Structure 1
């Protein structure tokens, strides 16, 4: 090992700088030293015998190449011709490094993040710098030992698959995209001091004519597709991407082919490599769709720690649940596009999945300002308008506090402020023009028949039904007692008035509706904290109702299967699915099942059996496990044995059948337990569907509250109980029984209420 040169006086340093300048002008200096070293390592790799000192040389050369490349790019004393020549020579050394690593992949570990630089490597680095006429790094001063004991930092959870490292080495100096058009700047500054996010969200609570951004007519030729027909509405999004639009909230109703649109839009925008973040159950489906629609592009699916993935693939598919392990290298991979499927999964900005998605989007934007971003969801609103917030931030329209420059410039160009008449309509249209695309099946897919939801009320006349009515009456009585106690306490204290300072009698019916909501909210809070309250809460009550309806729902599904063909049966709880499967087995009806605890192989086999085997007449599906990612168009009838807490989940279930390729009218039969809270919940679900219609479809129909469905169910239960109680107490009251009496009276109800007969009902005369 050569002796390290010692520091000399000023004359020595001046001479050295002159020597360096001469070498630079002659094309000498560090590059020939690095080229010689890398050739020696390459020769050793070809012989298959890389010694430890050659591994050290490999690491030092790679590190110095990176440093020299950065220096050459920023050195103002170098002419453009010299800079180009030096960068070309450095790229040649990088190519040799990559080829050498391909021969001996163990070398890749030397370049991984956090790879240790040994004292021998540091010494060799200084020797190479000295040989090139450079100042070596000074020796580090030894650190004084501290008396304090510092806990070692935990090992990072992130992983970097080996094939990803190989790709990075094959193109180690992947440069950011600086060729994108600059973000437009506002022409005025009228809105600088306005708080704009709340007005923007509120603008979607008002109806409007626009439901989708203006879209161009599609090209007649879509490259890369074999024997697949692209529908007109799909081609419009692809054409918009081809014309340069780069952000889309693709909120088409489920079943309109959002996956194909995203893949082809990425192809039109040349947004590869493309990152696709999806729920776990649809990873395989995305890979299959990529093979169909973009056959020229390779797709890879990340499982677990990413072992065996193709680091050179054009499309990288990862599920939300393992994103935390891979967020590090995904942010440095050089993606030029990102798609988030079922984007309502990120609506909670405090969740880890949402934070990872937003962080990745920011990294990709920094790398490639002209990158393509697409958020796909058929149900963009779950409970509230502000469910948009995280999606808009992912798309780069807003940040935590205000609109980002592109949206701000568009708002400024309108010349309106929140205090001006017409601002909300203008703001809503401005946001839509940023990239919201919302099409309904009835509008764009004439070959898809309309669907309908038919409620089938059933009476629960057995012991379980009587216990459910008694439990509901007990819950209502408990709420009434809390309401009365709070009223009496407030009167004794002399406070008077409602909890919000008003008279509380919003409807003039003698009830304090503000207090009703407070009591209902307290019940929900106690339920969530496990307060030990006696009696059933609203969640256990709904589960009991589902159990009680299970047999009746299964009987009806069996009748449908016998009369009209294949049926899809959805339930929320496993015990309801168990009852249904036992019923079908007793009746000799073939069935398949989709549950959350199945392996991917078993799930695929069950779906295939239902689709292709005529003996399998019914498929029993979990609402959560089968609500997305599967196509069951061979059936046209859906039985919803249990109700969900959101209209979104119900819609997703129905649209497993109501999709492109369906040739018959689709009917979803909702099994409703009459005379119970079940019917209230069904109405609330329909109200939530109205919220989405008004916000996205420009519908004028009346919508329900955007508050939580559980809260609204309890408010309705308490209000009904108080109204019945008040009716009895008023002069001329009928003396009708209260909640407990209702339960007793309902116990003698008829066993099964027949549905209204439709042309598609098995009960119709034939």
Structure 2
């Protein structure tokens, strides 16, 4: 490696060329975006053979510098980028944005510890720190074998600990690479010892061994804690010398020096006294801690040390609870200013809960990011805060959201709690104070007197002096002016706050009861005509509402089924549902019009929907009705109301708008009707074909969307013409000014597209499939932002191609967009691509909801028997695989018996009469190669003791298996795609759940009363108040129901339904099943009258 480092390209060696010449290798758009200090950072790295640390202050654009440096060495790729898990997707977006020549297949995100298939095929691999653990040996071995020549380590201070597993794994990876760039705004969070592993990774032994470094720069000395002797390396010494040495391998710029035009950052401390009641528990813990510290002596043992640390941790948490009431009042005070957007940082979940309660009580819209929020969902929330003016508060965990995210829409930052080191505090501050910020950023630290806050603030200032001297060459401290005491005096009178989990069961006043006026049954309703009956009577009376019914979409909607209808539904349950959904109260689904595209038209009575907090609807809370291209058909081409058709099966006269006969449900326009023959000869055939037709309709729903392309095209062409007219006016004005360049632009006859798997970007190709090395985000085009595309697309013909694509793309549901993205196809029309993918989906039909271990075992035994192989039991808990025989005989034995023979399984593994032990039975072929549990194809040869890692042949199979076998995984995938928005009523059920969960119990009833869920049964509503859970608010529904073959399906057959819509759909489906069973029974004991008319 030393020889490689000496071979510096001629570009790097030349110091006389100007900056433009040195950076001419960059893509044009990236080159134009660089600021002067960023250019210097890139040249600094190139002059050091691509091995350095870029330690610019947060918000100065380290990412774009690293991308430019790695692009210079693209001939040496593959490139490895290691980032915090929450930043994986932003990094992919940045790579695709600035290096458009990268196709979607060139970038791979490692999703889990066994997702190693894409590493060898990809040019760029993005890895999260969270996967670098001691049990990820399969992944680590693959990373070492790949031999990455270029490595980028983002937030490299994650390597600060010498004993951490991730540091030990990354050290050889970075040392072995020819080019390595470390990025961090805080190389040392609190002391010099945190620098050593980063320096050692870049330049081994450059600063000596660890002992030499610690003695020289960390003021290492032996300390005694009782009788325990240990080296203490937490000090600091020779900082000026360390700073000089670091400047040779590290470049660091501060915002005050290079971004003088950036608005200032103003810190302010707001001290306040705690009410006596709030500080009661905290004072008791303080007294206990002081007593323990006074009792320490030379006889102190390890247990005393752990007691001290436990008490400090408890005091830290009790400080948060004690000051939570004051923090709530402060947040409410800030929310009184309607124009203010701000961030609130905290560490403990109790404090995050208190902050959230304050926002909910103020009826403001907010986002919350803590450790429980998936990394992909965090990007969605960041975009919501940045772009939605109604979202005014971001409640953030210091550790989960304090790094890598951008919140420049905020002008204020509030620290409800302090943290242990200044590095994390500065990182969190600069989520708002960074490039793109247009106003000064006011940072408020809420300091409760007489608590841990006072001690921690002093500690933060001591550590800031050390890190300032080491990194910046000058002593620093947390400069923060003290606020006016009289102005914040109200905080001292705040009410004591109690966490929700500490409260007892809510009193009856906070629950729903039958005695409430709107929940009492009026006896007069018994004598009133049913609303559905009135509608039926008016069905043929020429009511104008019928003009809005699209018969074609009604036909598709007729037999959509519910997910929760259990296959073994007994007659008692069916009769109950039938009572609830009597003919007089429930209308046939065939008579309800619905869009074929998967969008449900918004009711006219719901034009002005309000958010959960009483504010205006937001782009992120529900689907915008203006984006629905397929509304109900209101054209004059609809069939006349008084036209009728005669059913060929039962001769009943039906209205022309009905696609099915009202009496026998025979479809309109079947061959039997046109030929004068009965549409079927035996009712049994119809009964047996019902489930099959359900599946065919679900499968053909994408095909049905073709029928609506006329409406879609009309609306699209109208919108395209509007934007084209604007472009024409612009062209004409340019012609008048002599600036017409349209003749010089290349005109494309057609374009093809490919959707990125991991971002919102769409990549462009010629009609022949050649990459154009350009990409864009459809939402940007909708907002008339064309900066991602070159000037060629100023030509109106080229622009029309993009506009047409965007209209078709937004026409697809979020689920279909995801399926198209996942395929990686290059296509002309996204609608047609979605249709083709729908046809290619596995036609397999199953009436079981999930794949069980028994199903896997049966498939493995069958495969082993047919291939002459064997089976083995694999379990995550097992250190080594347990082979079930070295020859085909054991598998034959297992197959010949029902289930698994307990004698053939490992002793102690059978569980109380269960047919199978824990784990899975996996088939092996005749050569002993393990076969994939999902597709039964060979997997990678297992390493000793790691049989569990050979369950699947690729990540796609693992994901497909998890969706078909795990309810929690299935819910997480659907939530990631549809964000908890009901696909029937378009209300955001996930947002309602989060609001109810985070609200104080006294507010939960009011939230539910004002929501569309208020009509649910009282017991269910009260359970939502007592212990809200995600599954109480929305369900993952099977579009083609499980009982008709929709079980064990892919994502395409799944959708989000809120609990209210799901109950309605379940009841209707149960009724249809009941009718189907009654007809089936009737055919056993009776005959069909139509047989009399059939010619022999």
Give the TM-score range, shorter chain.
0.5 to 0.7
Question: In 2, distance between residues paired with 1:301 and 1:623?
Answer: 25
Find the counterpart in structure 2 of residue 329 from structure 1: 142
Cα deviation 1:603-632 (Å, max 9, x = unaligned):
233222211222211011111110112100
Distance 1:177 1:661, change over 3 A: same
Q: Which one of the candidate residues 432, 442, 446 is aligned to 2:256? A: 442
1:694–1:703: 8 Å Cα contact kept in structure 2? Answer: no
Distance 1:634 1:524 in 2: 45
The answer (yes or no) to whether the contact 2:110–2:127 under 8 Å persists in 1 is yes
SS class of match (1:551): helix
2:325 equivalent in structure 1: 551
Deviation readout 1:650-685 (Å, 9 max, x if unpaired): 111111111110111112111111122311211211
| Residues 457-490 of structure 1 deviation map (CA, whole Å, 9 limit, x = unaligned) | 122105222332343234224323x16xx4xxxx
2 CA distance for matches of 1:179 and 1:678?
51
Cross-structure match for 1:110: none
The CA deviation string for residues 344-378 of structure 1, in whole angstroms up to 9 with x for no partner, is: 111112221111101212333xxxxxx21111111
Distance in 2 (CA, whole Å) between partners of 1:540 and 1:290 is 43
- Cα distance change on mapping 1:386 and 1:599 into 2, 3 Å: closer
1:263-412 matches, within 5 Å, as: 263-270=67-74, 271-297=76-102, 298-304=106-112, 305-306=114-115, 309=118, 311-323=120-132, 324=136, 325-364=138-177, 371-398=178-205, 402=209
Aligned residue number for residue 226 of structure 1: 29
Aligned to 2:381: 606
In the alignment, the residues of structure 2 paired with residue 378 and residue 645 of structure 1 have an alpha-carbon distance, to the nearest angstrom, of 17
Shift of 1:395: 0.3
The one of 752, 757, 760 equivalent to 2:491 is: 752
Question: Match of 1:616?
Answer: 391
Residues 310 and 329 of structure 1, relative CA distance in 2, 3 Å threshold: closer
Specify whether residues 178 and 400 from structure 1 end up closer, same or farther in structure 2 by C-alpha distance, changes over 3 A only: closer
CA drift of 1:450 comes to 2.3
* Residue of structure 2 equivalent to 1:38: none
Aligned ranges 1:351-750 → 2 under 5 Å: 351-364=164-177, 371-398=178-205, 402=209, 428=242, 431-480=245-294, 482=295, 486=297, 524-528=305-309, 537-563=311-337, 565-700=340-475
CA deviation map 1:242-293 (0-9, x unaligned) = 4453221211111111111111111124452211111111111111111122
Partner Cα distance (1:340, 1:454) in 2: 34
**Counterpart-to-counterpart distance in 2, 1:467 and 1:425:** 42
Could you tell me which residue of structure 1 aligns to residue 695 of structure 2? none
Q: d(CA) in 2 for partners of 1:467 and 1:542?
A: 12
| Matches of 2:99 and 2:3, distance apart in 1 | 27
Partner of 1:124: none
Cα distance change of structure 1 residues 569 and 701 upon mapping to structure 2, 3 Å threshold = closer
SS at match of 1:332: helix
How far apart are the structure 1 equivalents of 2:16 and 2:181? 15
Q: Secondary structure at the match of 1:226?
A: helix
State the 1:391 CA deviation: 0.5
CA separation of 1:351 and 1:659: change in aligned 2, threshold 3 A: same
Shifted more, 658-667 versus 287-296: the winner is 287-296
| Residues 1:645 and 1:700: Cα distance change in structure 2 (over 3 Å) | closer
CA 1:225–1:308: 2 relative to 1, 3 Å: farther
SS in 1 for 2:414: strand
Alpha-carbon distance change, 702 to 659 in structure 1, aligned in 2, over 3 angstroms: closer
Kindly state the Cα deviation for residue 182 of structure 1 after the two structures are TM-superposed: 6.5
Change (3 A) 1:623 1:246: same
What's the secondary structure of 2:42's corresponding residue? helix
**CA, structure 1 residues 559+426, in 2 after alignment: closer, same or farther (shift >3 Å)?**
closer
Partners of 1:451 and 1:524 lie apart in 2 by: 40
Cα RMSD of the aligned pairs, angstroms, is 3.4
Partner SS for 1:692: helix
1:637-658, CA deviations, whole angstroms, 9 ceiling, x for partnerless residues?
0111111111111111111111
How many Å apart are 1:398 and its aligned residue? 1.9
Aligned length, in residue pairs: 440
Q: Which moved more, 1:282-291 or 1:235-244?
A: 235-244
1:525, CA displacement in angstroms? 3.5
Matches within 5 A, 1:142-291: 181=6, 218-219=19-20, 223-226=26-29, 229-270=33-74, 271-291=76-96
Question: Could you tell me how far apart the structure 1 residues matched to 2:128 and 2:55 are?
Answer: 20
1:610·1:616 contact (CA, 8 Å) conserved in 2? Answer: yes
1:751 Cα deviation (Å)?
Answer: 5.6
Query: CA separation of 1:179/1:645 partners in 2, compared to 1, >3 Å: closer, same or farther?
Result: closer
Report deviation, 1:239: 2.0
After TM superposition, the structure 1 = structure 2 runs for residues 14-29 of structure 1, keeping only pairs within 5 Å, are none
Give a deviation string over 1:182-226, Cα, whole Å, max 9, x none: 69xxxxxxxxxxxxxxxxxxxxxxxxxxxxxx9997437552253
**Larger deviation: 455-464 or 660-669?**
455-464
* CA distance in 2 between partners of 1:619 and 1:468 (Å): 28
Q: Give yes or no for contact 2:82–2:152 (8 Å, CA) kept in 1.
A: yes
Query: Does the CA contact (< 8 Å) of 2:417 and 2:446 recur in 1?
Result: yes
**Per-residue deviation, 1:690:** 1.7
Whether the 8 Å CA contact 1:218–1:235 is kept in 2: the answer is yes
- Give the whole-Å Cα distance in 1 for the aligned partners of 2:430 and 2:242: 28
Are the equivalent residues in 1 in contact too, given 2:89–2:376 (CA < 8 A)?
Answer: no
The 1-side partners of 2:251 and 2:17 are apart by: 12
CA positional deviation for 1:181: 2.9
State the distance in 2 between where 1:436 and 1:546 align. 38
Q: 1:643 to 1:659 in 2, by over 3 A?
A: same
Separation in 2, partners of 1:642, 1:427? 35
Unaligned runs of 5+ in 1: 1-175, 184-213, 365-370, 404-422, 487-498, 500-517, 531-536, 705-748, 755-766
2:842 — aligned with what?
none
